[in-house]
Chains A and B, each alone.
Chain A
Amino acid sequence: MEATIEVRGLRKRFGSTVAVDDLSFTVGPGRVTGFVGPNGAGKSTTMRMIMGLDRPDAGAALVGGRPYRSLRTPLCRLGAMLDASAVHPARRARDHLRWLAHANGLPARRVDEVIEQAGLGSAARRRAGGFSLGMRQRLGIAAALLGDPPVLMFDEPVNGLDPEGIAWIRGLLRSLAAEGRAVLVSSHLMSELEGGADHLLVIGRGRLIADTRVEDLLAAASDGRVELRTERRREAMTVLARAGATVTTSGSDALIVTGPTAERVIELLTGEGVAFSGISAHRASLEEAYMELTKDALEFQAVAGGEAR
């Protein structure tokens, strides 16, 4: 049980804002777990509580089975990048890594190793104040890797990066997970995690909405939907809606039909003489699946919130 994060009944309130509300989940080894939710959902707050930085009002978080604040050399248990800009601008990148290494008695060679691993190169001798956002992210990642920890946690690591940077981080996270580490990575954009995460924790307003494997989520979101391609969208929509189907447009010539089976759709359209060029089972994107989930959750939250007051 080394490479895990366990969160049990975590709750945190800031004044009248409930930031995290009875949150429980486990982050397991060997996979990238995406931690997704809209702005203000409580992702960063949860991560701070896992690291013992914020004190939970209730519940507990364990890293490798132990509370973070009881760890003696925590950099070897959990590496984190919560905020890439948290560096003194007048300090050289290398010196930033050096004091961190000293704090846990890590050997000096680790500093050079992580500079190499994060691709900082000669920039390590420059002062952090002059770094680009991408360089800062690399420095933050280097700091997280310093203790070669089995658990890694990144808060919005690709936020504001160019596609090249996003691809680099995605590849790095994958390779870290492949070594058997637990990797928790947050984002408020599901699309950023597309193809990068194996598992998803979805939260909204501090509550857990979904704790699922990515493929299960996609399968559920695609379930029973039919994608229809036709030049005559208006007629097709009228015909299908009259038959009780829910129809949404997708792209310039496609329709997503929920309700009837593909056979029934063909039957209806041929019966009315509406021509179409293609029909297939729909495969949802992660973004769509997520919108679906959060839409329901936000409605639920509104009701729950109304009751509470």
Chain B
Amino acid sequence: MTAPAPPAPPSYRSTVAGEARDGFGRLLLAEWTKLRTVPRWTLTLLAAVVLMVAVAMLSASDSGSSGPEEKRSPTAQLQIIDLGHYTYLPLAGDGSVVARVTSQDGGGAWAKAGLMIRGSAERGAPYAALAVTPGHGVRMLTGYRRDGAGGGTATAPQWLRLTRAGAAVTGYASADGRAWRRVGSVRVDGLRGRALAGMFVAAPDEVEVRRVFGGEIISGKPGDTTATFDNVAVSPPAPDAAWLDRGGPGGPAADPALDGSTRSGGTFTLKGTGDIGPDEFAPDVTKATLAGAMIGQAAIVALAVLFMTAEYRRGTLRTTFAASPRRGRVLAAKAVVVGLASLAAGLVAAFASVLLARPLLESGGIAPPPVSDPAVLRAVVGTAALLAVLAVFALAVAVIVRRSAVAIAAVLLVLLVPEITATGLPVAAARWVERVTPAAGFAIQQTVTRYDAAIGPWAGLGVLCAYTAAALAAAAWLLRRRDA
């Protein structure tokens, strides 16, 4: 039988408690150890990279398969349009140009008539312009971007003034030529020394896009516009300089009925076709190269979901919470680890895609923009960031639903369904779908502001981040409240 219990010995004290440390860094190390010690998870990360690069190579070799083509024009490579009509004088240094737009006719709400100071007459040269439009007020334009600063409801007749001080150009507008109002000021990188100053007209093409399942029908005709100017003055005056013209190259520009300038006394009449701004139909080579992210995301989402649901399925979540009872911190550590792992995989995949696809594209006659181009860099790094945020989103959904299959299906549906249905919806509806669903995050891959862009790159990623933050908050709340 049991011997009488000896007097209880003194309480035991842990011999390692003194060395034990608590902290978020330790938690990160613990979660990272978990991630890296399950071989199939590291393989999944690798698969994401391989898939993305493979898609990039395939699409690059595909687009080059039609044989040698004529090299595209430099502006096409820059993915901008630089058309319209420009009538100008030289401007040796600082100075200004003033004119009154007396009338403007045709070209739609975004037809532009106004003043422009630009580095040279070459296509794609740096410029700053101030224009009055029929539907969008007075706008300060630069950098081949859309819209520009300003706005309001002012229309022709309108007085405009553009002054240059070094690379800084400021625009003013006035209804009567006496009381001036400042519209905006821009710094024009690359505007130094001799420049040109004068008047311009431009008008965007009239485009109609209709969507049907599996494709879209784009019909368009070049926009043309006419405007008259008087009270034109460039100062300081260049005494023996003559007004020069730059019209659109070739095509309809050769038609004097559509493109040209006439002068009678102090009144100039300018006609032009085509716009100055982003090329909304330019192929987004970088985005196409990074399209593998649509497939790579499946691996990343699966990894992030399994990283969480495995803990539920195997019962290790209890072990995890036994070691770290602060559950919110555990979730944060998991999110950081799976996010950083996906970011790293995404960076490798995106840079490899762009760099490896380049020679294939070039051999097919396409000159992709360099990686150092800010928009390309944004798309490449943004693709990695996109995958990182998607991973955190998937992790949060996994906490909420706790089941691998359900979580993976839910996340992928939320990401893919908008892309698929959007092609079958009217353009306006499709844009809303692409704007308000988590799939908006893919906008970060845009390097060209195309006609079908639903949302800007950063705004799109912001939408995805907002969904992720909401899902993460719900996950943290549930994790704290539920029994483990």
Contacts and interface: CB of A to CB of B under 8 A. Distances in A.
A171 interface: no
A8 interface: no
Nearest to A198: B5
A69 B316 contact: no
Interface in B1-43: 1-2, 4-5, 8-17, 19-23, 26-27, 29-31, 33-34, 37-40
B5 A147 contact: no
Given A92-B37, A104-B22, A150-B12, A143 B319 contact: yes
Contacts of A262: none
Interface string A53-91: 111000000000000111111111100101101111111
Given A82-B318, A213-B5, A100 B323 contact: yes
B315 interface: yes
B310 interface: yes
Interface in A183-197: 195
Interface stretch (A27-35, A226-234, A251-259, A268-276): A27-35
B12 A102 contact: no
B314 interface: yes
Nearest to B326: A69
Contact of B9 (A4, A29, A72): A29
B176 interface: no
B8 A28 contact: yes
A47 B1 CA distance: 29
Interface in B310-331: 310, 314-316, 318-326
Contact of A88 (B15, B22, B29, B316): B316
A239 interface: no
A2 B12 contact: yes
Contact of B20 (A54, A76, A214): A76
Contact of A53 (B15, B322, B324): B322
A147 B14 contact: yes
A69 B38 contact: no
B11 A179 contact: no
Contacts of B481: 55
Contacts of A282: none
Interface in A32-54: 48, 51-54
Contacts of B314: 85-89
B69 interface: no
B8 A83 contact: no
A69 B329 CA distance: 13
B321 A72 contact: no
B484 interface: yes
Given A3-B11, A3-B12, A150-B13, A54 B310 contact: no
B70 interface: no
A235 interface: no
A100 B325 CA distance: 13
Contacts of A126: none
B208 interface: no
Contacts of B318: 48, 51, 53, 82-83, 86
Contact of A74 (B27, B39, B325): B325
A98 B484 contact: no
Query: DSSP majority for the B interface?
Result: loop
B12 A181 contact: yes
A260 interface: no
Nearest to B7: A30
Contacts of B240: none
B483 interface: yes
B484 A53 contact: yes
A103 B12 contact: no
Contacts of B326: 69
Nearest to B41: A90
Nearest to A149: B14
A48 B483 contact: yes
A162 interface: no
B16 A71 contact: no
Identify the interface centre among B14, B38, B310, B315: most chain A CB within 10 Å of its CB: B14
Contacts of B323: 74-75, 100, 103-104
A180 to B, nearest CB: 4
Interface residues of A, number: 64
B11 A2 contact: yes
Nearest to A88: B314
Contacts of B16: 76, 106-107, 110, 147-148
Contacts of A107: 16, 19
Nearest to A2: B11
B11 A29 contact: yes
B38 A179 contact: no
Contacts of A88: 34, 38, 310, 314, 316
Contact of A150 (B11, B33, B39): B11
A102 to B, nearest CB: 4
A82 B4 CA distance: 30
B319 A86 contact: yes
A179 B315 CA distance: 31
A105 interface: yes
Contacts of A87: 314, 316
A308 interface: no
A105 B26 contact: yes
Contact of B2 (A76, A100, A215): A215
A195 B1 CA distance: 8
A1 B22 contact: no
A178 interface: yes
Nearest to B35: A99
Contact of B484 (A54, A72, A150): A54
Contact of B22 (A31, A55, A73, A198): A73
Contacts of B29: 102
Contact of A104 (B1, B20, B39): B20
A16 B15 CA distance: 44
Contact of A214 (B2, B13, B315, B325): B2
B26 to A, nearest CB: 5
A147 B319 CA distance: 13
B9 A30 contact: yes
Contacts of B26: 102-105
Given A73-B17, A83-B318, A218-B1, A91 B37 contact: yes
B1 A100 contact: no
Contacts of B19: 105-107
B316 A103 contact: no
A294 to B, nearest CB: 21
A131 to B, nearest CB: 13
17 contacts: A2-B12, A4-B11, A29-B8, A51-B322, A53-B483, A69-B325, A69-B326, A75-B322, A77-B17, A87-B316, A88-B38, A92-B37, A100-B319, A103-B30, A103-B324, A105-B23, A143-B319
Interface of B: 1-2, 4-5, 8-17, 19-23, 26-27, 29-31, 33-34, 37-40, 310, 314-316, 318-326, 481, 483-484
Interface of A: 1-4, 28-31, 48, 51-55, 68-77, 80, 82-83, 85-92, 95-96, 98-100, 102-107, 110, 143, 147-150, 178-182, 195, 198, 213-215, 218, 283
Given A31-B5, A53-B484, 9 more contacts: A1-B11, A52-B321, A53-B483, A73-B22, A74-B323, A75-B323, A87-B314, A100-B30, A143-B319
